[in-house]
Amino acid sequence: MNAATATKALKVAGYLRVSTDEQARDGLSLDAQDARIRGYCVARGWQLVRLERDEGKTGKNLDRPGMQSLLSNLDGIDVVVVSKLDRLTRSMRDLSTLVDERFNGVALASLSESFDSSTASGKLSMNLFGTIAQWEGEVISERTAEALAHKKANGQHCGRIPFGFAIGDDGKLHENPEQMAIIVAMKRMHGRGASVRTIAAKHGVCKTTAHKIVTTDMRVIRSQGVK
């Protein structure tokens, strides 16, 4: 930091993000990021003003509620802290936009990469790590696309597993007997006049799932699985 800010306790806004497929991986959970940022601020004697979170959001763009909340209120903030640069963004273009334009003079510090963008060397490190983060993201996207194409070519299921089914050893959707029995019970309750809210609460599913089940013909539901 510069001499003007070095003599006072810096005010920090922390940012945390995890994408849907990262939530179960060690060290990437929101709680793990939260603990790292809080610990770092205590060690540095910095004042953590607030933490913004984005759960289940991609780092490929900035269209995230937590990110927009962060950017809309940086008044009085000296530095934005992230546990790792790719938590902020995986796009080199977005990184440059954030630091050069949207942060409006607020510094950026990343714990994993150990840099502080308020210095020339820190900004160089940031650009290098930003390029690496973008490359890693592109590699992951390519591998994911290849894996999905392979599964589709082999007739295997891709995407969310619908209620009532499970993935078999062949990679295809097979009926889950227990959940199918629940579907039948839900439809029976609906036929007797029960509300979607009541049905959802009774069987421990969200209202969206309950509504889709009770309004979809059983033959259509069963057609999703292996014949």
CATH 3.40.50.1390 domain locations along the chain: 3-138
For residue 109, list its beta bridge partners. 81, 116
Taking the domain 3-138, which CATH number applies? 3.40.50.1390
How far is residue 182's CA from residue 72's CA, in Å, rounded to a whole number?
A: 45
Q: How does pLDDT run across 158-206, given as a tens digit for each residue?
A: 667 888 888 888 878 888 889 989 999 999 999 999 999 999 999 988 8
The pLDDT score that the predictor gives to residue 226 is 64
Give residue-wise pLDDT tens across range 26-74.
557 899 999 999 999 999 899 999 999 999 898 889 999 999 999 999 9
Burial, 152: exposed, middle or buried (Cβ in 10 Å; 0-12, 13-18, 19+)? exposed
Among 19, 91, 110, 117, the active-site one is 19
Residues of the chain with CATH 1.10.10: 165-222
* The pLDDT value given to residue 130: 53
pTM for this prediction: 0.54
pLDDT(127) > 80 = no
Q: What is the CATH number of domain 165-222?
A: 1.10.10
72 counts as catalytic: no
